[in-house]
Structure 1
Amino acid sequence: MCILIVTHVVAKNDGQGRVNYEIARAALEAGHEVTLLASAADSALAAHPRARFVKIAPSKLPSRLVQYQLFAWRTAVWIAAHRDAFDVIHVNGFITWARAHVNAVHFVHDGWYRCGFYPFRARRGAYHAYQVLYTRLNAWCERWALRRAEAIVPVSAKVAQEVAALGIADARLHVIHNGVDFDEFAPGASERERFGLPRDPFMALFAGDLRMSRKNLDTVLRALRETPPHVHLAVAGILRNSPYPALAQSLGVADRVHFLDLVKDMPALMRSVDAFVFPSRYEPLGLVLLEAMAAALPVVTARTAGGAEMIEAGASRDDPHGTHDPHDAAPTEDAPHTGPAAGIVLDDPDDAAALATALVQLATDRVAARQMGEAARQRAATLGWPRMAERYLALYEEVRTPAPRAARAPHSIAAARP
Structure 2
Amino acid sequence: MKVCPDKTAAIAIRQVEKNTGASRNAFEQAAALQSLGYRVTILAERARPDLIRASGVRYVHCWRFPFKGAIRRFWFNRQVQCWARRHAPTLLVSHGDVETPDVVYMHNCVHLASQRINKAPLPRNHEVAAIHDHVLSRGRFRRVAVNSRLMGDELVSRYGIPDHQIEISYPGYDAHRFNPVSARAGREAVRQAMGVADHCFLVGLVTSGNFKKRNVDGLITLASVLLKQQEAFHFLIVGKDDPAPYQARIRQLGLEAHFSWRTTIDEVETLYGALDLFILPAHIEEFGRVALEAMACATPVMLSRYVGASELIADRWPDLVIDPDQVESHVSQILALLNDEARCRSTGEAMAELATHYSHEQQARKLVASFESLVDMPQG
TM-score bucket (shorter structure): 0.7 to 0.9
SS of equivalent residue, structure 1 residue 271: helix
1:278 is matched with: 280
CA displacement 1:109-152 (0-9 Å, x = unmatched): 233345xx241658xxxxx857x84465355235336x111111
1:43-82 equivalence runs, <5 A? 43-47=49-53, 50-63=56-69, 65-82=70-87
What is the match of residue 405 of structure 1?
Answer: none
> Normalization by structure 1: what TM-score?
0.78
* CA displacement, residues 345-399 of structure 1 (integer Å, 9 cap, x when unaligned): 01x2121322333332332122212222112111211111222222222222222
Counterpart of 2:151 in structure 1 is 159
Cα distance in 1 for residues equivalent to 2:239 and 2:334: 21
The verdict on how the C-alpha distance between 1:158 and 1:211 changes in structure 2, with shifts beyond 3 A counting, is: closer
Structure 2 Cα separation of the partners of residues 173 and 401 of structure 1: 16
1:344 aligned partner:
320
Determine if contact 1:192/1:198 at 8 Å carries over to the other structure. Answer: no
Please give the secondary structure, in 2, of the residue aligned with 1:300: strand
One-letter amino acid matched to 1:172: Q
SS in 2 for 1:208: strand
1: CA distance, partners of 2:100 / 2:35: 27
Aligned to 1:267: 269
Give the deviation of 1:48 after TM superposition. Answer: 5.3
Q: Which residue of 1 aligns with 2:92?
A: 89
Amino acid at match of 2:164: A
What is the aligned counterpart of 2:307 among 301, 305, 314? 305
- Which residue of 2 is the match for residue 361 of structure 1? 336
Report the residue type matching 2:105 in the other structure: A
> Which residue number corresponds to residue 133 of structure 2?
140
Cα 1:129–1:182 change in 2 (3 A) is same
Contact between 1:210 and 1:244, CA under 8 Å: does it hold in 2? no
One of 186, 192, 195 as aligned partner of 1:190: 186
Q: What residue number does 2:368 align with?
A: 393
Q: CA 1:141–1:361 in 2, change beyond 3 Å: closer, same or farther? A: farther
Cα distance between partner residues in 2 of 1:19 and 1:398: 18
Q: Is the 8 A contact 2:190 2:270 kept in 1?
A: no
State the structure with bigger RCO (CA 8 A, min sep 6), 1 or 2.
1
Partners of 1:167 and 1:34 lie apart in 2 by 31
Structure 2 Cα separation of the partners of residues 120 and 236 of structure 1:
25
Structure 1 residues 58-113: Cα deviation after superposition (integer angstroms, max 9, x where no partner): 444235x444333333333333332x1x22111122x12x3241111221223334
Query: 5+ residue gaps in structure 2?
Result: 1-6
151-160 or 190-199, which deviates more? 190-199
How many equivalent residue pairs?
A: 361
Q: Which residue, 234, 237, 241 being the options, matches 2:236?
A: 234
CA contact (8 A) 2:102 2:143 kept: yes
> Quick check: 2:62–2:79 contact (8 Å CA) kept in 1?
yes
Quote the Cα distance in structure 1 between the aligned partners of 2:94 and 2:342: 44
Aligned to 1:223: 222
Which position in structure 2 is the counterpart of 1:18? Answer: 24
Query: Which AA in structure 2 matches 1:159?
Result: M
Query: What SS does the corresponding residue of 1:382 show, helix, strand or coil?
Result: helix
Q: Which moved more, 1:165-174 or 1:42-51?
A: 42-51
Q: Distance in 1 between matches of 2:340 and 2:178?
A: 24
The 3 A distance-change label for structure 1 pair 49 and 222 is: closer
Q: Which residue does 1:179 correspond to in 2?
A: 172
* SS in structure 1 of the partner of residue 151 of structure 2: helix
For residue 233 of structure 1, report the CA deviation from its aligned partner.
1.2
- 8 Å CA contact 1:239–1:262 kept in 2: the answer is no
1:400 Cα deviation from its structure 2 partner: 2.9
Aligned 8 A contact 1:293 1:380 in 2: yes
Structure 2 distance, partners of 1:144, 1:298, is 39
The question of whether the paired residues in 2 share the 8 Å contact of 1:204 and 1:232 is answered with: yes
Distance 1:389 1:43, change over 3 A: farther
3-state SS in 2 of match to 1:5? strand
The answer to whether the 8 Å contact 2:11/2:40 transfers is: yes
Q: 2:295 aligns with which of 293, 309, 315?
A: 293
1:213 aligns with 2:212: yes
- The amino acid across from 2:270 in the alignment is A
Q: Partner amino acid for 1:344?
A: L
Q: TM-score scaled by structure 2?
A: 0.85
The amino acid of 2:93's aligned partner reads H
State the one-letter code of the partner of 1:213.
K
Root-mean-square deviation (CA), in Å? 2.8
User: Deviation per CA, 1:5-60, whole angstroms, max 9, x where unpaired?
Assistant: 11133367211211222222343355432111123445445225851011235444
Report the Cα distance in structure 1 between the residues aligned to 2:293 and 2:329, rounded to whole angstroms. Answer: 24
Residue from 355, 369, 377 that aligns with 1:380: 355
Q: Which amino acid aligns with 2:272?
A: M
The answer on whether the counterparts of 1:11 and 1:21 sit within 8 Å (CA) in structure 2 is no
The structure that is helix-richer by fraction is 2
